[in-house]
Chain A
Amino acid sequence: MQFDNFSDFMTMGGHGVYVWTVYGVALLVIAALVITPLRRDRRFFIEQSMLLRRDQASDRKTTNRVSK
């Protein structure tokens, strides 16, 4: 450990603002990059399963009609 206590670790001898901002922003950018495709996938599966359900419903109607 290079720091005696937590407040030293935060201030980093006056450089804390720069160091922590860099680590914080890097984390935010990485989080945004990870979340973007995951959210897109989620939306895709919701939309496509709705389409699928609609198709299945209309299929049932047609088969019913045919069986009558």
Chain B
Amino acid sequence: MGSPRWYYQISGQCLPWVAVAAVSLLLVGSIWGLAIAPMDFRQGNSFRIIYIHVPSVFVAMSGYMVMAIAAAITLIWKMKLAEVVMKCCAPIGAGMTFIALLSGSLWGKPTWGTYWVWDARLTSVLILFFLYLGVIALYEAFEDNISASKACAILSLVGSVNIPIIHWSVEWWNSLHQPATLKLTEESTMHPDMLYPLLIMIVGLYFLFGLLLLLYTRSEILVRERGTKWVKELVAEKYAAN
């Protein structure tokens, strides 16, 4: 258990289910959010951006936490799989943060009258984006995997300071950005007709994150284990099938 081969087999079995869940939830959530949910009486139809914006921010932040935890495991126990997970979180997280920033900016224009303001929330999410890019760039900068993963693990851990800053930025500093709509401890202020598609999109995007993480880690493991017997057998199987 915990070996790359074991992981490759188990993840291959989960993959189709995760894919089906992600695609169907995102499809239902998007259609519901775009066409069926009622219009916001103050923001008009631009509020429909929330169904992309909020889920992508959630996943961007959670993805960073996954990366930081994998980084800690890499540093402490030098576990191969954790190192792979850490490396693979970076491009996925960067993509999600990009969606979050762009959707926020395009929502800001009709709502605030500007695409961008240098306030705490927006700036800290921009820093999150640069942290992800930093991990990708740092990994590429090293010749050998061991130094690369060590450097990236330290960067991810140091950068995790940013996560609580993003979370509380709207409460600590004055901001154009509205405070959180969804809270774990209190009832949401959102009408159920608007809330349900949002929850579906959030769960759907988490499944998509899971799917992407599976795809990236599996691909990375194949390359790293290409000298081993089980990968050679896998290649032979594919080769025979073609």
Residues of A participating in the B interface, judged by any CB pair closer than 8 Å? 1-3, 9, 12-16, 18-19, 21-23, 25-26, 29-30, 32-34, 36-38, 40-41, 44-45, 48-49, 52-53
Of the candidates B49, B98, B107, B215, which one forms a contact with A34 in the assembled complex, judged by CB atoms under 8 Å apart? B215
A40 touches B219 (CB 8 A): yes
Q: Collect the chain B residues with CB atoms within 8 Å of residue A36's CB.
A: 91, 216
B95 touches A30 (CB 8 A): yes
Of the candidates B45, B208, B218, B231, which one forms a contact with A19 in the assembled complex, judged by CB atoms under 8 Å apart? B45
Interface of chain B residues 118 through 155 with chain A (CB within 8 A): none
Residues of B participating in the A interface, judged by any CB pair closer than 8 Å? 30, 34-39, 44-46, 48-49, 52-53, 56, 91-92, 95, 98-99, 102-103, 106-107, 109-110, 208, 211-212, 215-216, 218-219, 222-223, 226, 231-232, 235-236, 238-239, 242
Q: Collect the chain B residues with CB atoms within 8 Å of residue A12's CB.
A: 44-46, 48
Of the candidates A2, A16, A26, A37, which one forms a contact with B37 in the assembled complex, judged by CB atoms under 8 Å apart? A2
B102 touches A23 (CB 8 A): no
A37 touches B218 (CB 8 A): yes
Interface majority SS (helix, strand, loop, mixed), chain A: helix
12 additional contacts, CB 8 Å, given A12-B44, A12-B46, A52-B232?
Answer: A9-B34, A18-B106, A18-B107, A19-B45, A19-B48, A22-B102, A22-B106, A22-B107, A23-B30, A41-B219, A48-B232, A49-B238
Q: Collect the chain A residues with CB atoms within 8 Å of residue B215's CB.
A: 34, 37-38
